[in-house]
Amino acid sequence: MNHSIHSADRATHLKIVVVALVAGIAVAGFGIAARPHADYSQTAQSTQIIKAGKPVVVTSAGASQIR
- 65 forms beta bridges with 57
Instruction: Give this prediction's pTM.
Output: 0.49
Q: pLDDT for 44-66, tens place per residue?
A: 556 677 888 888 776 676 566 66
Position 39 scores a pLDDT of: 58
- 66 forms beta bridges with 56
**Residues 6+ positions from 9 with CB-CB distance below 8 Å:** 2
**Which CA distances in Å does 20 have to 9, 23, 44, 46, 52?**
17, 5, 41, 44, 46
| CA pair distance 43, 61, nearest whole angstrom | 46
